[in-house]
């Protein structure tokens, strides 16, 4: 069996921090008098914080100085951090540990590949740090998804060929990044949205260990 590597996005895949991002962006949007709904927030999934603010300001037709832009970036992040400081293991999405435990037992190298600059503290908060051989986050990447940089770096750290990697993603940009990296993509979310993924499950409770074993054996 060829060596495989499994790479997981964080927000919306392992933990549901997407709700906290939404609340923090909504707070800033309200402050700026910009209408911002959960539907609008879909555009922000898997996108860098800087790009999210650019989209938000564009939605409101707001032009600002670089200094003010940076201040709002900081304000949003501080607001978000207030939410994640209260996180614990109860925030882990259902059946994620089942898959991580199985892969760990099979000695499969695992990495986290996330745009979040808070990935490491979140993993520590929820008690999952020990599963991952590598964490590639927003501190180490210069190009946001759909660019494949984050996943290619993760594969490099795992010492696994990109074509032998499996990526779990909940965002369109993430699926596009995985495919651009030449990796097998597993979408977590709405099958009607994540149409470019190789396989889609609404959540980890739908994933059977037989499917994971098939991936390990190259029977995708």
CB atoms within 10 A of CB 112: 26
Record the tokens describing residue 68, joined without a space.
Answer: 């003010």
Rounded to whole angstroms, how far apart are CA atoms 110 and 186? Answer: 15
Catalytic residue among 11, 79, 137, 170: 11
User: Shortest CA distance to 145 belongs to which of 110, 111, 113?
Assistant: 113
Rg (C-alpha) for the chain, rounded Å, is: 17
Catalytic residue flag (residue 170):
no
Alpha-carbon separation of residue 169 from 19, 21, 65, 96 (angstroms): 16, 17, 34, 13
Q: What angle do CA 57, 61, 63 make, to 5 degrees?
A: 65
Catalytic residue flag (residue 79):
no
DSSP bridge partners of 6: 110, 166
Catalytic residue among 9, 79, 137, 170: 9
Length of the chain: 220
Which residues participate in catalysis according to the annotation?
9, 11
């Amino acid at each position: 069996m060829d060596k495989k590597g499994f790479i997981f996005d964080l927000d919306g895949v392992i933990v549901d921090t997407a709700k906290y991002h939404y609340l923090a962006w909504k707070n800033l949007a309200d402050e700026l008098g910009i209408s911002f709904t959960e539907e609008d927030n879909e555009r922000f999934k898997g996108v860098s914080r800087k790009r999210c603010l650019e989209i938000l300001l564009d939605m409101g037709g707001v032009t600002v100085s670089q200094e003010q832009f940076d201040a709002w970036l900081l304000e949003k992040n501080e607001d978000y951090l207030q939410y994640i400081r209260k996180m614990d293991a109860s925030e882990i999405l259902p059946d994620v540990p089942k898959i991580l435990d199985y892969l760990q037992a099979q000695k499969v190298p695992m990495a986290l590949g996330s745009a979040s600059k808070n990935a490491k503290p979140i993993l520590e908060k929820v008690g999952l740090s020990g599963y991952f051989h590598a964490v590639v986050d927003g501190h180490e990447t210069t190009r946001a998804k759909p660019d494949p940089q984050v996943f290619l770096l993760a594969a490099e750290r795992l010492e696994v060929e990109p074509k032998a990697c499996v990526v779990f993603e909940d965002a369109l940009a993430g699926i596009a990044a995985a495919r651009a990296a030449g990796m097998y993509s597993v979408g977590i979310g709405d099958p009607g949205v994540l149409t470019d993924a190789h396989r889609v499950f609404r959540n980890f409770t739908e994933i059977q260990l037989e499917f994971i074993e098939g991936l390990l054996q190259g029977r995708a």
